[in-house]
Amino acid sequence: MRLYRNEPNWIPPLVAERRAFLDRRKNPFFGHADVELFLAWRDGQPVGRISAHVDRHLNDFQQNDWGLFGFFECEHDHEVAGALLDTAEGWLRERGRDRMVGPMDFTTNDECGLLVEGHERPPLILEGWHHPYYSELLERWGLSKAMDLYMWELRLDKVEDKGGFHPLIHATAKKVTDEHGVTVRNMRRDDLEAEIGHFLEVYNAAWKDNWAFVPLDETEARWYTKSLRPVLDETWTWIAERDGEVLGAALTLPDVNVALAHMNGRLLPFGWAKFLWYRRKIHGCRVLALGVKPEYQDLGIAAALYIEHLDHADPERKKIWWGEMGWILETNEAMNRAMEGMGGKIVRRYRIFDKELAGTGADEAKAWETVEGLAE
């Protein structure tokens, strides 16, 4: 709060939500991860923070020995940044990690990446906003780019000015129902647990080949469902199915940051009243996830989900009519070309950094095994 108090584009998070997220007794992430949280102090005042964590689910699924860092916040001070990063690196080395990757708060399923382009815009829901000098602090210490994540802006007025979505998108979407017998419906809020289960089924299948992806388990899905329920609008959620089988899904959230910007991170005593008042002014959304199971991706279901978003937008009634989609990996050519075909433009870029940790305990153990093998 202190570091950003003079930044008009930064949106204070809900303090209660952040406390719950970092509570080892509540957040199921701690059940499969080792986590340490560090604060840097100077003259009795905290001047920086960082997490270091080892996610066993990520390591098992991706078959790697990565260590992660996240929640990086720091004054514009290389000494402080160096102390934080040195501490996180040392903690990860002690646990045999061969690479330091981040920022991730805690995984790619959460807020991740450092904002490196798009500082002139306030963030949407579940998007980070970071001081522009952070990238220089990380790079000067020795971290380098591992992957960029794009946020694409889609605006109904821009789409209409350009004559609408590319005709191929409309034609492909029409075939989904007419030729392939797929139906698209909204998720049912009164049966949200089951619907999130359907979404999870698609999510873990559709994203499994993504860089740094780690699947969500049922416990984590319930956790996210509980967290998102207060802001979820079922009319902006979709399930694509055929003969009782779920094939694809889309989860879009109204940009409640419009209301959070006026709450100073507090629900009480007047936070709820402000939220109810300002949510009427929400005209944007974030397409948090849109995917199709790999074996059905040639049916055009993604196109049908795009059209559902287009048809549901309603600027005349002062409802949601624009949004951001992502993040999308810079290497995901299919999705990035689809965004171009819908008249989108990249408005934010988040960056994940990494650094090799040569000489870790894991490296030394592998080297010793090689020596023993040669000796035999």
* Domain assignments of the chain as residue spans, ordered by start: 15-148+353-375, 153-349
Q: Which two tokens stand for residue 75?
A: 């004054």
pLDDT of residue 368: 38
Give one word for 330, left, alpha or beta, with left for phi > 0 and alpha for psi -120 to 50: alpha
pLDDT of residue 372: 46
Stretches in the chain below the pLDDT threshold 50: 362-365, 367-368, 370-376
Helices (H) and strands (E) in the chain — how many of each? 13, 14
Q: Do domains 15-148+353-375 and 153-349 have the same CATH topology?
A: yes
| pTM score over 0.85 | yes
Could you tell me the sign of the dihedral formed by the alpha carbons of 35, 209, 135, 224, in that order?
negative
pLDDT of residue 252: 95
pLDDT of residue 353: 98
Task: For residue 333, give every residue at least 6 positions away whose Cβ sits within 8 Å of its Cβ, in sequence order, or none.
Answer: none
Q: Which two tokens stand for residue 334?
A: 């299919």
CATH value of 15-148+353-375 in 3.30.1890, 2.60.40, 3.40.630, 3.40.462: 3.40.630
pLDDT of residue 95: 97
- Please name the amino acid found at residue 126: L
Residues of the chain by 3-state class (helix, strand, coil), percent to 5: 40, 25, 30
pLDDT of residue 317: 62
CATH 3.30.420.280 fits 153-349, yes or no: no
pLDDT of residue 376: 44
pLDDT of residue 375: 47
pLDDT of residue 112: 96
